[in-house]
A = this chain, B = another copy of it.
Amino acid sequence: MRDIFNQELQQLGSDLESMASQVATAIERAAESLRHSDIVIAEQVIDADERINDLQRDIDDLCVMLLARQQPVAGDLRNVISALRMAQTLERQGDLARHVAAIARGRYPEPPVPEPILGLILQMADLAVQAGQNVAQLVSSRDLELAAAIQAGDAELDALHRRSFQMILDPAHDMSRQQVIDAVLMGRFLERFGDHSTSVARRVAYLVSGASMPGTHDAQDADALH
């Protein structure tokens, strides 16, 4: 019984790792599609999201099955519940990467926003990519230094998000309304991607240390407006 349980917990861990790595790839490609106005890569992100959703479904089923059959307690229970939630967070991150790619695709062959807004959005995208990679590594290594790096990166992303509003409001930057819409949405998607990365980082830190409850908000979104 315990053997099967351990096997299933391992399966759960490897499914989560695979999900996190697919999300990292999705945001990398979304950033690339934006940087190079590459519609082929944008389509790849959009198509690949279905597989991320499928993985969440698998993880959900496995968690519910584990809870029902193995009735885990203490650390094992904490592991299973955290997996349920991390899978949900990763699924949202896949959606957000897809939304960014959809904007790149929608405006092809032009970049969706002009410079210097584009440069700022790309900086945000790079931070999101870094967050995605760190999360993927954290899920497999559980290295708490990565968790701290993810939180620091998210603070930077938030600061850039605030700056994006200032830039959009600056009349010196010529923008159409469509470009304003796209800039606002991309900024919001990337900022939320960062929030979710921090949420995963907090959960892993909680699992490893067992010491402090993570914020129960799955992805703190205290100040969407700046």
A contact set with B: CB distance below 8 Å: 53, 56-57, 60, 64, 67-68, 71, 73-74, 77-78, 81, 84-85, 88, 91-92, 95, 99, 102-103, 106, 165, 168-169, 171, 175, 177-178, 180-181, 184-185, 188-189, 216-218, 221, 224-225
Contacts and interface: CB of A to CB of B under 8 A. Distances in A.
Given A177-B180, A184-B184, A216-B91, A99 B225 contact: yes
A218 B91 CA distance: 9
Contacts of A53: 216-217
Contacts of A74: 68
Contacts of A221: 95, 99
B57 A216 contact: yes
Contact of A185 (B77, B81, B103, B188): B188
Contact of A184 (B85, B171, B185): B185
Given A103-B225, A180-B180, A67 B77 contact: yes
B185 A177 contact: no
Nearest to A219: B92
Contacts of A177: 168-169, 171, 175, 180
Contact of A91 (B99, B217, B224): B217
Contacts of A165: 181
A200 to B, nearest CB: 14
Given A67-B67, A99-B225, A181-B180, A56 B216 contact: yes
B185 A102 contact: no
Contacts of A168: 177, 181
A68 B77 contact: yes
Given A177-B169, A216-B91, A81 B103 contact: no
